[in-house]
Structure 1
């Protein structure tokens, strides 16, 4: 879909998801990703009047089937699109993993041009489909000069979120995305993108040639009532590049699990995060076995304000670039785990 040559160019890369899903059933059930990037763009009213769109289908996958190597390849595609003259890039995908893929892109996005991720909660065939509106907002976000230098953003339900903080907080609602603790940084109102905070972001991580082909193993282990460390004990240090624990409250675990944390932390990076969904890990309040003070003493590192899935992606991204020391983890999480 191409508009007049005088219009700014926006690249749209489609990965699949609900926004691209259709159904052959009479009741609209059992939807699967089928629509191309070109068809997605063509279905958005008024899009051709705003930008000259270069749309490309990168994948047609439900979001649970996306993985880190796919997102790293998407990153390379987006960088090439900007280098070829695009004013910015929009990525469409399923919502289940959108909070993770957007943050992984953000960790490595080293261009000032906007990269905006969006999707939909309702399929194109559903009454009140939200995909076209979200895609239009994402393109408007790319075209807004104040979007430059903000890293990767998520556009959803007329709100703009930083990839570092956004999370899917509802399984069905069209307003499924929230940034707990900080809120959205901008809105799209009557076609105008408005930001409430100045552009400010942590510098992107660098990738050398060949590093992007890796695929580190960094499991995420969530603790629970009565956790005796059984799952964590089953992880062999030689099989992983790091481990992230989703702990109680400010990042706490049971006394028995703390022993497993100490065993692993002596061999590979171990990060503990809070499973609560909002608020940071502690540093100096509690002193019982399994508390934040205890875990820090055993060699683990607190994730700060990062959600467990974000903490895992940061550790994964660090491991993608090569061997990681505890000092490396402390440094990066100190910078990227706080507002």
Structure 2
């Protein structure tokens, strides 16, 4: 895709994708594709054999959005169920409903309807995001997501490290918190050079530095608005690019705010 853009072989790209990991691919591409040409990811919740299959309509609308000049400079977009969502915020919220993709912290960036066409809710802000180079061979570092729960111990964290994790994203409770044994294990991991990012298993909201956890003391990074799966993608890209200092990592996570 990047080569096609660089050679002016395409003015926009539409990617069909399964819905389970659509948000991760959208966020990944948003961080590696250079330029302002539209990239739109689209999927469907109902198969072609179902009554009222949503795939054809979603695909048609994705092409409409990709072809619209106003889509330039907005980064990667996801188009499903008449809504246009930004790559940073979009997430799947329901297992089977066609009304599954939403952006809890931001809301949709626009809408598509048969009568009014495409409506963006704000002007494009231009290219403000950083983009990252993929490593040679395109093999990204191993980063594990560890899910916090009641009475959590250190075993999942120690297991991730024993299997070569260069980074750990905590899907924490509340504001990215967890039990003391788990926090102690994460602090020990950070001292050994493992990147530790605190995210949350909660669907919306921001993880805030130095409120419930002393991030400065422990050498942790907070994910801000990024959910665990997107925090993992960004952590992989940053480690691959040689960014490992907690302060520099934190700047990358908060770069758009």
Query: TM-score scaled to structure 2, two decimals?
Result: 0.92
- Give the number of the structure with larger relative contact order, counting CA–CA contacts within 8 Å between residues 6 or more apart: 2
Matched, 1:219 2:144: yes
- Alignment partner of 2:183 out of 235, 240, 258: 258
Residue correspondence of structure 1 range 171-250 to structure 2 within 5 A: 171-190=95-114, 192-200=117-125, 202-207=128-133, 211=136, 213-236=138-161, 239-250=164-175
User: How far apart, CA to CA, are the structure 2 residues paired with 1:234 and 1:85?
Assistant: 46
Gaps of 5+ in 1: 1-77, 286-290
- 1:136 is matched with 60
- C-alpha displacement at 1:237, in angstroms? 6.8
Maintained 8 Å contact 1:237/1:268: no
- 1:320 is matched with 240
CA deviation profile, 1:169-210 (whole Å, cap 9, x unmatched) = 0100111101012110100122611100221253232316x5
Residue correspondence of structure 1 range 45-124 to structure 2 within 5 A: 78-82=1-5, 83-124=7-48
Maintained 8 Å contact 1:81/1:89: no
Query: How many pairs are equivalent?
Result: 253
Matched, 1:311 2:231: yes
Maintained 8 Å contact 1:154/1:161: yes
* 1:237–1:329 distance in 2 versus 1, CA, 3 Å: farther
Gaps of 5+ in 2: none
Maintained 8 Å contact 1:106/1:204: no
User: How far apart, CA to CA, are the structure 1 residues paired with 2:98 and 2:76?
Assistant: 21
CA deviation profile, 1:124-181 (whole Å, cap 9, x unmatched) = 1211110011111110001111100001000000100001000000100111101012
User: How far apart, CA to CA, are the structure 2 residues paired with 1:300 and 1:323?
Assistant: 14
- 1:279 is matched with 205
Maintained 8 Å contact 1:217/1:316: yes
* 1:101–1:196 distance in 2 versus 1, CA, 3 Å: same
Query: TM-score scaled to structure 1, two decimals?
Result: 0.71
Structure whose CA Rg is larger: 1
User: How far apart, CA to CA, are the structure 2 residues paired with 1:233 and 1:86?
Assistant: 46
- C-alpha displacement at 1:238, in angstroms? 8.0
* 1:212–1:184 distance in 2 versus 1, CA, 3 Å: farther
What secondary structure does 1:91 align onto? strand
Maintained 8 Å contact 1:158/1:189: yes
User: How far apart, CA to CA, are the structure 2 residues paired with 1:302 and 1:165?
Assistant: 16
